[in-house]
């Protein structure tokens, strides 16, 4: 029996469970994980997903991303708003013929990718920097930004493609103005969320590495 491998696997499961618990805590604490901004919510729930990706790898990161998507679906279903049909298949059944399917795609695919993209971005940057001093913090920051922007761009882009007319009606604008509205969300909210995610995920990953190293 490989005790080292078993210990590492158990530690990974515990870390995944802890990050999953943080995701649910953020999601269901009012105005903490999902911050209402009118017709949209800003979020920091992607931060533990990004951290999980960078520390635990893309497979466990994808699991955490799935949990992120699950919280979106639960919140959209149990606390409905004008645009809840985007994330809840139970709210979108009458919006378009394939509404429930589109909701599941928007709810889960971008969030799962948030748990995958940072890992590969970080690995690519490590290879590009080739161990140059002081570049690890930059790589972590960029990876966090990439993970956050993956969520924002894919969610808003899929809203435009799959629910464009219904979303425009829900927020009270014409469909012709929707593209500009979505681009403004990406440029303002998306960029701010990405900067916060890059700073937080980089700092926390570095701190956790020291903790885990000290515990070995």
The CATH code of the domain that includes 120 is 1.10.1760.20
Looking at residue 1, its pLDDT comes to: 46
Looking at residue 42, its pLDDT comes to: 64
Strands (E), the chain: 34-37, 40-43
Cα 183 to Cα 79, 83, 125, distances in angstroms: 26, 17, 27
Structure tokens at 138: 């930059």
| SS3 call for 40 | strand
> Is there a contact between 44 and 193 (Cβ–Cβ < 8 Å)?
yes
Structure tokens at 26: 């953020």
In the chain, what is the straight-line distance between the N-terminal and C-terminal CA atoms, in Å?
20
In DSSP terms, 43 is beta-bridged to: 34
Looking at residue 210, its pLDDT comes to: 85
- The contacts of residue 60 (CB under 8 Å, 6+ apart) are 12, 15, 16, 52, 53, 115
Domain range for 171: 3-215
State which residues of the chain have pLDDT below 70: 1-4, 31-42, 213-216
> Is there a contact between 141 and 51 (Cβ–Cβ < 8 Å)?
no
Q: Number of structural domains, the chain?
A: 1
In DSSP terms, 40 is beta-bridged to: 37
Looking at residue 33, its pLDDT comes to: 65
């Amino acid at each position: 029996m490989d005790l080292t491998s078993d210990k590492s696997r158990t530690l990974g499961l515990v870390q995944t469970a802890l990050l999953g618990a943080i995701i649910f805590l953020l999601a269901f604490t009012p105005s903490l994980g999902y911050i209402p901004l009118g017709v949209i919510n800003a979020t920091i729930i992607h931060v533990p997903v990004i951290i999980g990706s960078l520390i635990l790898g893309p497979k466990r990161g994808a699991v955490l991303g799935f949990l992120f998507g699950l919280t979106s679906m639960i919140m959209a279903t149990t606390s409905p708003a004008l645009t809840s049909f985007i994330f809840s298949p139970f709210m979108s059944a009458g919006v378009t013929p394939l509404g429930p399917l589109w909701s599941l795609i928007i709810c889960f695919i971008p969030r799962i990718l948030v748990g995958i993209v940072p890992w590969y971005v970080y690995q690519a940057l490590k290879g590009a920097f080739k161990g140059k001093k002081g570049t690890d913090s930059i790589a972590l920051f960029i990876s966090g930004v990439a993970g956050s922007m993956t969520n924002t761009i894919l969610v808003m882009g899929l809203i435009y493609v799959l629910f464009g007319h219904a979303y425009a009606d829900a927020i009270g604008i014409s469909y012709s103005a929707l593209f500009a509205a979505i681009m403004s969300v990406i440029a303002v909210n998306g960029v701010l969320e990405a900067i916060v995610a890059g700073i937080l995920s980089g700092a926390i990953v570095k701190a956790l590495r020291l903790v885990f190293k000290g515990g070995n």
